[in-house]
Amino acid sequence: YDLSKSSSIEYTINPDFSQVESDVPMIMANQTFAMSFPEKRTFFLEGAQLLKSDMETVYTRSITNPLGALKFINQGANSSTYLMQATDTDSPYLAAGQYKSFRGNAGKSKVTIGRYKKNLGNQSHVGIIATNRDYQVGGSGSLIEFDSLINFLDDYILDLNYARSDTQEGNVNFIDTHETFAGRTYAMDGESFSGTAKNFRLRRAVDASNWGIRFKDVSPTYRAHVGFVGRNDYKSRNYWYGRTYRYQGTIRKINFRWNNRNRINFRNQKTQEFYELSMDLETNFNFTGGVEYQIKPSEKFEGIHYGEQVDYEINGTYHPTESFFTSLRYEKGEAIAYRIDKPKIGDSKEYNLFTVFRFSDNFKISLGHRYSELKDKITGEEFYAGEINRFEFDYQFDNALSTRTIIEKNEFSDDYFLEALIQWKPDPYTIFYAGGTQFYKEPNPFSDNIRLETSQIYAKFQYFYNPNK
């Protein structure tokens, strides 16, 4: 409901369309931290730019299965306000750590988000973000952040953030671990604690060069119950410099970049040292490419120091016409195998190929191929190896009716995924969805047969009602 030209209030019932807006799978074989996914739900996308923060204080995907939500937005010339109240039936609980994340399902919860942003002119602002989550099984988590972005002297940008979180655990445990942090347990046992996070970033960007420094500290007891903070207990110091050269010939632009990041924990022990050199170029025939060289002289994981790791990457995209697009990324080097019983440095390789054929404005086919492996440097034994292949077929019959088909094979989860979707949008306010998903599993390593694991058929209806119209 439009209250005025600059403000509105919205209410939604069951806005979760996870089957319709499915995520592209990520390769998680060597990940110890939780990964985030982009928001795709219409209700949460509207006004999302107001919630952006370097601290990731708000991550609306943490409202996984909402029963309903109420939202107020006001965007005036001098200030903006965002308020939201939601009820979630499957609340993901993310407990950050120094080396890994811990996750659990906290069940039903009530979520509150508040944001106020004061415009200072010259694309500068100061603001505040406050969040709270009350869990039905007991416990709560709140957070308040003060943020600012200041543009000054034409080319300089200063970001300042300070956040404090307060956590009160319940006594119903849903995190299966006996590990501890800062004298406390990750398990839910009624503990209460507070944490802080700070961010300082100064940047200067002109046509030919850019540089910046960033200091970011996240304490071991900091948690964002409505945000996304998978790692804590670190102090990061980041410095970078880039130089750009422009030309009128075949090569239009070349950019060189140097980056250094050092990380220590809150006991002032060095946990990572990182350097990167990269070069990117743009051409006049719609090709862009780049090369990167990365080196970690040292890294600490689970209390053990590891030596030098070197990594190389080559990437490129080619878009000669509206009907064809392709991109390739190839990476080879060394990496710690974090998820084996005794982590060690191995030889890694990864490549990603993505191609789109657009036969007309109505018909598109997308092909994706990703491969990743990590092997023992001495024996050649695979710590992991696998690929994900994805085929997507999109056809739009007219402005109202469209279809999508996805076929995917994931060797990391040993399954096949099939999705078919029909969408009908007869007017700007009404959308009908009908479709189905199926997962197939390979029964054992010695059989090529597959079996149907799960099957789902769904029909969904989405209607936007505005009393003003």
Residue with tokens 């053990």: 304
42 has a pLDDT exceeding 90: no
pLDDT, residue 17, reads: 63
pLDDT, residue 23, reads: 80
User: In residues, how long is the chain?
Assistant: 469
Q: Among 139, 341, 100, which Cα is nearest to 225's?
A: 139
AA letter at 167:
T
**Beta bridge partner(s), residue 71:** 10, 84
Q: What does the block give as tokens for 448?
A: 């090529």
Rg over alpha carbons for the chain, rounded to the nearest Å, is 24
DSSP 31: -
AA letter at 437:
T
| Residue 49 three-state SS | helix
Q: What does the block give as tokens for 127?
A: 């603001």
Beta carbons within 8 Å of 248's beta carbon, 6+ residues apart: none
Residue 466 — pLDDT band, cuts 50, 70, 90?
Answer: confident
Task: Decide: 118 and 162 in contact? Cβ < 8 Å.
Answer: no
N-to-C CA span, the chain: 9
CA pair distance 308, 143, nearest whole angstrom = 38
Residue with tokens 């940008």: 157
Q: What is the pLDDT of residues 47-91, one digit of tens each?
A: 999 999 999 999 999 999 999 999 999 999 999 999 999 999 999
Task: Decide: 88 and 109 in contact? Cβ < 8 Å.
Answer: yes
AA letter at 125:
H
For 60, half-sphere exposure in the C-beta direction (CA atoms, 13 angstrom radius) is: 26
96: left (phi over 0), alpha (psi -120 to 50) or beta: beta
pLDDT, residue 426, reads: 93
Q: What is the pLDDT of residues 182-207, one digit of tens each?
A: 999 999 999 999 999 999 999 999 98
pLDDT, residue 242, reads: 98
Task: Decide: 418 and 437 in contact? Cβ < 8 Å.
Answer: yes
Residue 153 — pLDDT band, cuts 50, 70, 90?
Answer: very high
Q: 42: part of which helix (H) or strand (E)?
A: helix 42-45
